Amino acid sequence: MHKLAPLALAASLLAVAPAAAQDTAAPDIAAPDIAASAAAVRDKALADPTAWTIAESLTTDVGPRLVGSPEMVRARDWGVETLKRLGFQNVKVETFTASGWFRGEESAEVVGPVPHKLHILGLGRSSPTPKGGLTAEMALFRSYDEFLAQPEGSLKGKIAVVTGVMTRAQDGSGYGAINPQRSAGPAEAAKRGAVAYLIRSLSTDDTRLPHTGAARPGGIPAAALSTPDAELLERLAARGEAGGKPVTIKLNMTSRFEPKVEAYNISGELPGREAPDEVIVVGGHLDSWDPGTGAVDDAAGIAITTAAAKLAAGQGPLRRTIRVVMWGSEEQGGSSDAYLAAHKDEVGRMVMVGESDTGAGRIWQARLPKGSLDHPAMKAFRGAIAPLRVIVSREAPGFGGSDVEGLVEAGAPFVEFNQDASRYFDLHHSADDTLDKIDPAELAQNVAVWASFLHTVANSDVDFRALAARP
């Protein structure tokens, strides 16, 4: 995919203004100065290459970034250098302890009644097979509920295979609905006596590239199958049921798990002048899975929020401080708790928190903190993003991101910008998660929305807590 020329990119997005959709009435801008500057920030963001440059550098100069790996150390240093180069101040690395899972050689094949090679990726925290692998009869279930209906001990000595299909959805809800198939499945399979657990990848693609992801440990080997291979096993199971010939699979996995590895949250600030202790916290997660280069998950989120913060401060001195955080262990867990523990005394001064972690698909919906829609700053923001085809919902945000979850539970207000996830799960956690899958125009639209929001919040007196508390 070729980068668009900046002016053409801006024109392509602003040209759609007449079709902009809103849940709310067209905003009556009550603060013309901040409205004008928010629009100026939007226009600058649409033509600015910073986000693309960041995503290109992280995926090229570092690549995949498993927690506890040498690549993650390189990513830490990259994050510090990038923030300093862009003019962020108070750049710091906060080290914490997380768990680390590392992939080794892995293979799977049907050995009877018909030989077939299978494409798999081990799930995070999977146990390895015995040396030399294991061979066992398959027990296949076409839904996770069908699998859970099996009594404990009923799958003794078998490889449990679950082929439930993920639904494609713009809001990504299909992923949440089927996630237990991966996250809880290995432990449930072990309860039922299975010696291994395989699933159809939680993905919406039709390629032979499997998708990995974290799972709760069950003490047995666990892996994801590519979509075509899961369907192949369904056909073989149907033939086996009809002809009385069981399907036998050989599995070999050599992963290792370390309960304690070093992980890092990296942050930098653009200090406010009038209210520097009032902090807006945004970011993305720096770590990634290992098959691809972690482009849509989550170099894009790092790029969007870092570039947006820089652009938000480009219209003159900020009133409040903007802090960008590169959270260092989202995929395998730990960064949210670590960040909260290090900043729990600061939560009361956090004006707003948010995270970008659904790739680079265009933002189609914004959910603003409860009671804030008609505040002058939010009216200015709504006016600025109207040409970007973003629906401003009347519903309060429901989920701000895994890495700000701890801050939200501690009382920090948060924002939710929903990206078009229609294609995201074709790519995420797979070898196809590479830079060429990021559309520069859609990336720029994300930056424009975030930059306009950060600019209006950082240069206003909006108090989201007080607004939410009003009857």
Structure-block tokens of residue 179: 């996630």
Q: Where are the beta strands (DSSP E) in 167-255?
A: 196-200, 222-225, 248-253
Q: What is the DSSP string of 297-318?
A: IIIHHHHHHHHHHHHHGGGS--
Helices (H), 86-207: 144-148, 173-178, 180-183, 185-191
Q: H or E segment at 328?
A: none
Phi, psi (degrees; rounded to nearest 5) at 18:
-60, -25
231-260 in b/e form (b: 16+ CB < 10 A) is ebbeebbeebeeeeebbbbbbbbbbeeeee
Pick the catalytic residue: 330, 331, 355, 405?
330
Residues β-bridged to residue 89: 269
CA 5/CA 128 separation, integer angstroms: 49
- In 3-state terms, what secondary structure has residue 275? strand
Percentages helix, strand, coil for the chain (3-state, rounded to 5) are: 40, 25, 40
Q: What is the DSSP letter of 295?
A: I
Task: Using the structure block, give the residue that is written with the tokens 């070729």.
Answer: 2
Answer for the pair 232, 109: CB distance below 8 angstroms, yes or no. no
Find where tokens 């989120």 sit: 301
Please indicate whether residue 405 is annotated as part of the active site. Answer: no
Among 296, 291, 307, which Cα is nearest to 437's? 296
**Through-space distance between the first and last CA atoms of the chain, rounded to whole angstroms:** 50
Q: For residue 354, what are the β-bridge partners?
A: 282
Q: What is the total residue count of the chain?
A: 471
Residues with active-site annotation: 330
